[in-house]
Structures are given as structure tokens and as C-alpha cells.
Amino acid sequence: MPLLCSPWLYLIVFVAVTIDGFLPVMPSEAVVIGLGALSATGSPDLVALGVTVVAGGVAGDRLSYLLGVRTGGRFRSGKLAAAREAAERALHRYGAVAILVGRFLPYGRTATTVTSGAVRMPLGRFRVLTVLASTAWAAYTIGLGRLGGETFAGSPLMGVGLGLLLGAGLTVVHTVVARWRSVRVRRRENAARAEAVPQPDVERILRPRHRLDHLPTGHPEVVPCQYFAIRQSALLP
């Protein structure tokens, strides 16, 4: 295929990975995995492909960060809005790790980078993290494709299919584990908030303002206190 040997291929990859940073509708992961599988045949060049993917990842993250600065990271509804809320909680709880892990989750890249801009993460720190995240993601996706390409050296299309299948399976595993951890953390936080709520002092509420020992049992001031005490004792376990 002439395109696999053309320099234009790397420009297409760069644009696809960049756009995927702030508009997650471009299937850049599938493109990179497929090209990683085809690199086992000698074209495209493995090193050039890796550098291009990292560069596109950093560029897309920078644009996504600026989008967060301008808009405050507000999404009206849908999966991006939910991912943005989860990303904000993760950034507050885990910090830099959230950006690295978010790269491997659906909508995680856009959510974490936009949120980083919205919360005004220092740009120098953000750049370092995005370089690390982009490098890890490039090695992961190209490695999956290359594994498929080496496995089916005589059939490049089979290699591409295996790489895509591995990528889809690992994405599902990552998503399930992330949601499970999120549910556990939310349950612990809810339990901690429930324990922190002060319980009413029933005895103090039912205690009369003045001593009523000297009054007879049927006195108008004594009867209401006795009535409420009986009702409360019946409700208590």
C-alpha cells in the first residue's frame, strides 16, 4: 500500500491523535493499533510511528487543557459530563496519577485534561504529565498492534484484528476495575458522612425545663412529658 510508505501517513496519525484529545470521536486507538500491527511488515516505521503518536498526544492534551481553561470544563450532559465529574474527584484524590490512568479509560483522556485546565493545574506540571501519559499510551497501543502483527506475520489483517481485540478486551477490564473502585470509594465516603451526622439527644429533648417531682401525677405540666416519654420509648429500639 503506497500510503504506508508515505510521509503523509504520519501527518494523518498526528491529526487523528490530536483531535482525539478534545473531540473523542476519532478512533485514534484503533488507527494506532492497526498501524502497530502493520509495522511488523516494515512499513510504517516503528520509531517514527511512536514519535508521531506521542507528539499528537501532547498536542491534543494541550488543546484540551486550553478548552478547560476557557470553558471551565462544563459539559451539559451525557458521558462526557459524567466522565468530567469523575475526573474532578480523581484529580482531587489522586492528583497526577489520575491523568496517567485516565488515558487508558473511555473518555478519560478528554475528561482529565479538560478538568486539569478547569482547575488551573500548573502548566509546567501538566506538560510533564502529558508527555509521560502520551508515551505510556503510545507504547501500549503500538505494542498491542505489534504483538498481533508478529503473531500473524503472514497475515497482516489477522494481526490487526488480534491487536484490536486485545485492545478492546483490556479497555473493558480497565473500565470495570475503575468503576468498582469508584463505587467502593463512594460507599466509604457515604458511610463516613453518615457517622459524622450528630444524633439527637433524646433525653435532653424530653427532659422538662423545671423539676416536676413536687407536682401530682395528673398535673397539666406532668402529663405531656409522660406522654412524649412513652411515645419515644416505644419508637426506640
Q: Provide the pLDDT for residue 180.
A: 75
Shortest CA distance to 144 belongs to which of 191, 88, 104, 186?
104
Shortest CA distance to 31 belongs to which of 141, 114, 178?
141
Residue range 57-98, pLDDT digits in tens: 999 999 999 998 888 756 555 666 666 677 777 777 777 888
DSSP state of 218: T
Amino acid at 75: F
Q: Provide the pLDDT for residue 223.
A: 46
Cα 142 from Cα 37, distance rounded (Å): 7
Residue range 156-213, pLDDT digits in tens: 778 778 877 887 777 777 677 767 766 776 677 677 666 665 655 555 555 555 554 5
Give the other-Cβ count within 10 Å of 44's Cβ.
21
Are 16 and 28 spatial neighbours (Cβ–Cβ below 8 Å)? yes
Shortest CA distance to 85 belongs to which of 112, 104, 103, 109?
112
Residue range 39-66, pLDDT digits in tens: 888 889 999 999 999 999 999 999 999 9
Per-domain residue ranges for the chain? 2-196, 202-235
Three cell numbers written together for 157 = 489483517
Alpha helix stretches (DSSP H) within the chain: 8-22, 28-38, 46-71, 79-94, 96-102, 108-118, 123-151, 156-196, 202-206, 222-235
Q: Provide the pLDDT for residue 73.
A: 59
Cα 105 from Cα 179, distance rounded (Å): 10
Q: How many residues are present in the chain?
A: 237
Q: Provide the pLDDT for residue 231.
A: 44
Per-residue pLDDT at 131 exceeds 90:
yes
Three cell numbers written together for 230 = 412513652
Cα 30 from Cα 46, distance rounded (Å): 16
- Inter-CA distances, 184 with 56, 80, 189, 236, Å: 35, 22, 9, 31
Give the other-Cβ count within 10 Å of 162's Cβ.
21
Shortest CA distance to 60 belongs to which of 29, 120, 14, 6?
14
Three cell numbers written together for 218 = 395528673
Supply the pTM of this predicted model.
0.70
